[in-house]
């Protein structure tokens, strides 16, 4: 009966099932260490049948990565309500959820390597970075950012990636602390830029206008003043 049900799976349904099974395996171990045989066994089908749907491991990997990329980009979406710092903190929580769920696969992907360094995978990574960048600008309400704001946002995105990768390597710092720290890092990098550029200074004042006295930005400023004195 089970076999009968399986046989009736449509082509697209079977492809989606295989992608799900592969993504789970690629998330748990470095993709180089996952074989088509394992994927076939986990999906309950034969190795030749996997090749019927995907010409090779790379194409299955790219399909799994596409699903993970769409998933991650979806987690960046946040209602445009309330203080900016609180919004960013919620996104950071969902980002670390994702990193937690896909740890070894995320690390292998971001560090590059034989199976994961193709042009297609690099283009996917860039598309997720772009989605993060677009979301942040949209929350800031800025359509045409000056070069210095673009630099702050893009370089902070790479800081968030590297912070997550370092966290995965031993998990020696509680992730909740790093989620808050990345929100503060964003404010700090913007403040450094604003300290030396008038246009960034004006943008910074607008950004912080609606931050509450008990929000993450105000908390940071209070602590920094205490640290400096």
**What phi and psi, each to the nearest 5 degrees, are found at residue 78?**
-145, 135
Query: Half-sphere exposure (CA, 13 Å, Cβ side) for 91?
Result: 26
Q: Is 81 helix (H, G, I), strand (E, B) or coil?
A: coil
From 14, 47, 66, 154, residue interacting with its own copies (rule: CB under 8 A): 154
**Applying CB under 8 A, does 122 fall inside the site for its own copies?**
yes
> How many residues form the binding site for its own copies (CB under 8 A)?
47
**Applying CB under 8 A, does 132 fall inside the site for its own copies?**
no
Q: Which is nearer to its own copies, 130 or 155 (CB)?
A: 155
Q: Strands of the chain (E only): list them.
A: none
Q: Which is nearer to its own copies, 57 or 184 (CB)?
A: 184
Q: Which is nearer to its own copies, 22 or 153 (CB)?
A: 153
**Applying CB under 8 A, does 227 fall inside the site for its own copies?**
yes
Structure tokens at 95: 């980002």
CA distances from 203 to 25, 135, 142, 190, 197 (A): 44, 17, 9, 9, 10
Whether 63 contacts 22, CB under 8 Å:
yes
Q: Is 73 helix (H, G, I), strand (E, B) or coil?
A: helix
User: Can you count the helices (H) and strands (E) in the chain?
Assistant: 12, 0
Whether 107 contacts 32, CB under 8 Å:
no
**Applying CB under 8 A, does 29 fall inside the site for its own copies?**
no
Site string for its own copies, 167-206 (x = CB under 8 A): x--x-xx---xx-xx--xx--xx-xxxxxx----x--x--
Q: Which is nearer to its own copies, 37 or 126 (CB)?
A: 126
Q: Which is nearer to its own copies, 5 or 227 (CB)?
A: 227
Q: Hey, how many other C-beta atoms are within 10 angstroms of the C-beta on 98?
A: 19
From 9, 49, 77, 166, residue interacting with its own copies (rule: CB under 8 A): 166
Contact footprint for its own copies (CB under 8 A): 111-114, 117-119, 122, 147-148, 150-151, 154-155, 158-159, 161-163, 166-167, 170, 172-173, 177-178, 180-181, 184-185, 188-189, 191-196, 201, 204, 220-221, 223-224, 226-228
């Amino acid at each position: 009966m089970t076999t009968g049900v399986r046989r009736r799976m449509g082509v697209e349904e079977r492809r989606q099932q295989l992608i799900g099974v592969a993504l789970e395996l690629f998330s748990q171990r470095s993709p180089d260490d996952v074989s088509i045989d394992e994927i076939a066994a986990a999906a309950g089908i034969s190795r030749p049948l996997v090749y019927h749907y995907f010409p090779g491991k790379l194409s299955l990997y790219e399909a799994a990565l596409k699903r993970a990329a769409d998933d991650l980009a979806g987690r960046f979406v946040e209602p445009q309500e309330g203080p900016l710092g609180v919004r960013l903190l919620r996104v950071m929580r969902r980002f670390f959820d994702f990193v937690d769920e896909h740890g070894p696969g995320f690390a292998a992907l971001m560090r590059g390597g034989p199976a994961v360094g193709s042009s297609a995978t690099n283009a996917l990574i860039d598309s997720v970075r772009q989605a993060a960048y677009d979301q942040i600008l949209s929350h800031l309400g800025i359509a045409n950012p000056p070069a210095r704001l673009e630099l702050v946002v893009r370089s902070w995105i790479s800081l968030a990636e590297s912070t997550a990768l370092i966290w995965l390597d031993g998990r020696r710092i509680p992730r909740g602390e790093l989620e808050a720290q990345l929100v503060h890092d964003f404010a700090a990098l913007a403040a450094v830029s604003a300290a030396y550029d008038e246009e960034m200074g004006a943008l910074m004042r607008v950004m912080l206008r609606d931050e509450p006295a008990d929000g993450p930005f105000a908390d940071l400023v209070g602590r920094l003043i205490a640290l400096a004195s």
